[in-house]
Each structure stands twice: as structure tokens, then as C-alpha cells.
Amino acid sequence: IFGQAVDETMKYEHIKDPHKKVPTIVEMCVDYLRNNALDIEGLFRLPGRNSFVKELKEMFDVGERPDFVALQTDVHSVASLLKAYLRDLPESIIPVQFYDAVRKIVVRDVEQSPEKAYPRMYQLLSNIPPDNYNLLHYLCDFLYEVASFSEKNKMTPMNLATVFAQSIIMPESDDPAILMGTSNVRTRVVHVLISECKNIFKMEYNP
């Protein structure tokens, strides 16, 4: 599971459930956090227990579905597990070839004409692979929900964007100087995707 492309994971998932939209590990983490952690200060910012997160990763990698409640898992370890899964994807959720087009919409259009920018963003994102689109939609929808509790958890859309930008969007170059130089723009992109997800993601992508 860890380090495997989203479409490869979903091929396996669809054998068991043809209607599955996102990887089971993502669903399990999100469901647990939604039920137990939305009001926890520092959610996604504070680290979990490294040794326990490693154990959970190994369980998922061999096909197990650990019961977070029965294992008395702490919320920060589940949050760290979700971050680790996304971080270990071989490519960002938005494929690198879409980086420039997404960046241009955010930098050029969102502030000047949001009513036009959001449909353009939706149209553009509808061209990424469907498994990636569904994961992006699902994740941003959840992070929007997390941000709605920011008075308690202190995780605003911008704070969450800072945490997840590297997993969601990356430029084609892996040059450290370019990565550093694009960091603010990538965070801006993810901030828009989270804070405006209800305007951008109108529906699931079903090819």
C-alpha cells in the first residue's frame, strides 16, 4: 500500500468493491479522525508515536485492517499515518504535468474573478486520472471539515495547506531550489482547494 500509485491500489480495491472511490486506509483514517479528533488542538501538526505509526503501516502493507479503537490508537498517530500514506505516494495527487496550469489559475484568476476561476479549476482537475481526482476531492472535503473546527484545533485552511501541499501538488522538477521557490505558490494552491472545495468540487469524477 505505502509507496504504491493510487491507481494500482484502486485496482486491488475494486476487486473487492467495484464502487470504491478512495483507498481503504484513507477512508479508515478519515472516519476515525472525523469521529474522534476534529476538536483536538494541533491535529495534523503534532506528531504521533513513531513506533506505533510504523506498526500500523506494516499492518496495512500486509493486508490487515487494524481496528484503531480496539488498539487504543491516539488521534495523532492516525493523523501521522494518513500523512505518511500520502507522502509516500510515488507522485503528488495532482500529477506534475498539471502543475503549471493549476498554478496559473490560482495566481492569475482566483482573486480577480473567482466566479470564473472555480469552474476553470474544476474543468482542469477533471482531466487528472479519476482515482487521483476522487482522492483529491475526498481529502479536500475532509480538510475543509477539519478547518471548520479551527477555533478549537487551531488548524486553519492555510495551516492545513502547509502540511499537505507536498502531497497534493508538486512541480515537474525535483531541483531543491525550485521546490523551495515554489513552496509558497503550492501552499496557496492547496489553501484554495481546501477553503473553496465546495465551489470547486461539484461532483465525483466517474469516467
Domains and CATH numbers, the chain: 6-200 (1.10.555.10)
pTM, entire model: 0.94
Determine the 3-state secondary structure of 94 from DSSP.
Answer: strand
- Residue (of 95, 81, 93, 79) closest to 140 by Cα position: 93
| Residues whose CB is less than 8 angstroms from the CB of residue 175 and which lie 6 or more positions away in sequence, other chains included | none
Q: How far apart are CA 58 and CA 61, in angstroms?
A: 5
Q: How far apart are CA 5 and CA 137, in angstroms?
A: 17
- Burial level of 97, CB count in 10 A (0-12/13-18/19+)? exposed
Q: What pLDDT shows up at residue 114?
A: 84
Report pLDDT digits (tens) over 78-93. 999 999 999 999 999 9
Report pLDDT digits (tens) over 17-33. 999 999 999 999 999 99
Determine the 3-state secondary structure of 33 from DSSP.
Answer: helix
Q: Is the dihedral of CA 152, 203, 86, 178 positive or negative?
A: negative
Confidence category of residue 172, pLDDT binned at 50, 70, 90: confident
Mean pLDDT rounded to a whole number for the chain: 94
Q: How far is CA 86 from CA 7, 40, 108, 186, in A?
A: 13, 21, 28, 16
Q: What pLDDT shows up at residue 95?
A: 97
Report pLDDT digits (tens) over 34-47. 999 999 999 999 99
User: Which of 57-61, 91-95, 168-172, 175-179 is least confident?
Assistant: 175-179
Q: Does pLDDT of 158 surpass 90?
A: yes
